[in-house]
Amino acid sequence: QMALQREFQHFMLKEIYEQPESIGRGVAQYVASLGSSAPSFHALPEANCFEEIQILACGTSLHAALVGQFVLEQVAQIPTRVRSASEFLAAPLPVTRQTLLIVVSQSGETADVLAAMRLANQQSSSGLAGFKVFAITNNSHSAIAQQADYERSVGAGVENSVAATKTFTAQLVLFYGLALAWGRQRDRIPDEQWVTWQSRMAALPSQVDQVLQQDDSIAAIARSLKHTNHIILLGTGINYPIALEGALKLKETTYTHAEGYAAGEFLHGSIALLDHTIPTIALCPTPPFRSDPSLENPPSEGGDQMLKVTQRIRRNGSDVIAIGGSEAAIALPLCDQLLSPFLTVIPLQLLAYHLAIARNIEVDRPRNITKSLNSF
């Protein structure tokens, strides 16, 4: 509450700070009301109408789709594939009458996503009566929302900054809502787990707020990176897409060469890059061996793996900036691994913002990019 009364110099910072509110709104709309007659899920396909999901998106929306894939697979146990819309154009995935195609686009106007929808529809017009397209946007009046069989808005409100922040976490909320709704329909989520899910998601706004309160120390870390040219970001499991998203935020707003990797995979060759000039940001949301297994399916080994990888990196002489975990530079409230993306992404957004400011970059309007790529 305090946070929203602040004055903000830039839309990006304002929109980062709006997240406790926008996440809370999304949870109320798409999770808390998710009973048998939840209005938010009326007229959406039921879980027994499809056997697999394909998700197409670009940029930040693609990273939300990758988190979505994780919960759809691990929680609802629905086979899910994700592809960049432009790569789908190059190599379309075979669609069947049991495919639900989900397209994700903040603006609802991205040209590659529209073209991919057209291509998928052409493929399915040869007799795939059950094939349906479901659009997730932040604008129900957009072309993508209008052309889909089903659509839902993530309801984040207008986002002005070119770099997406609050719409990313709003997309996540909707994916969790879908995974929970379809997981319930498929009997994958027993009643007691369902109650836990609801209360943990209801706690997210105050947990995000706790992360925002570390803004000053995150800004100090950003200033220490002012002359850094390369940054590595590592995450595992559901936080691998957050490493990708953090790297994209840093590239978009600070022009730093930043790359996200799956932590274990980074050891297979790419670690040769490291020296003392290249810091590593490690997403370690749960302290090793203290992860709460109650929502996990299967139990996560992620914390353990992150600890091994960060120890190895420190031995190689590179600085590790840990987000969460026992050696955290930026502490996170204790939370379940499956919900941790909502918390791990916040320091990365703030880091990108403050580093842009430290470098005098016009953070809301970075060079070479536009809010949505609706023509070339």
Q: How far is the CB of 62 from ligand G6P (least distance, A)?
A: 7
User: Looking at beta carbons, which residue is closest to ligand G6P?
Assistant: 59
In angstroms, the CA 10 to CA 161 distance is 8
Query: H-type helices in 125-234, by residue range?
Result: 143-147, 166-185, 191-202, 204-212, 215-224
Residue closer to ligand G6P by CB (options 28, 373) is 373
Is residue 236 a contact residue for ligand G6P (CB under 6 A)?
A: no
Nearest CB to ligand G6P, comparing residues 22 and 61: 61
The yes or no reply on residue 139 touching ligand G6P (CB under 6 A) is no
Residue 105 makes contact with ligand G6P by CB under 6 A: yes
Dihedral class, residue 59 (left if φ above 0, else alpha if ψ from -120 to 50, else beta): left
What is the per-residue binding string for ligand G6P in 36-75, x denoting contact by CB under 6 A? ----------------------xxxx--------------
Q: How many residues bind ligand G6P (CB under 6 A)?
A: 14
If binding is defined by CB under 6 A, does position 107 make contact with ligand G6P? yes
Strands of 150-153's sheet in order across: 80-84, 52-57, 99-105, 132-137, 150-153
Cα–Cα distance for residue pair 303/327, rounded to 1 Å: 12
Token pair in block for residue 275: 């020296």
Q: Which of 35, 111, 140, 354 is nearest to 226 (CA)?
A: 354
Question: How far apart, in Å, do the first and last CA atoms of the chain sit?
Answer: 41
CB of 248 to ligand G6P, least distance (A): 7
Say whether residue 267 binds ligand G6P (CB under 6 A): no
- Is position 106 an interface residue for ligand G6P (rule: CB under 6 A)? yes
Q: Does 99 bind ligand G6P (CB under 6 A)?
A: no
Per DSSP, the three-state class of 206 is helix
Interface ranges with ligand G6P (CB under 6 A):
58-61, 105-107, 110, 113, 162, 164, 369, 372-373
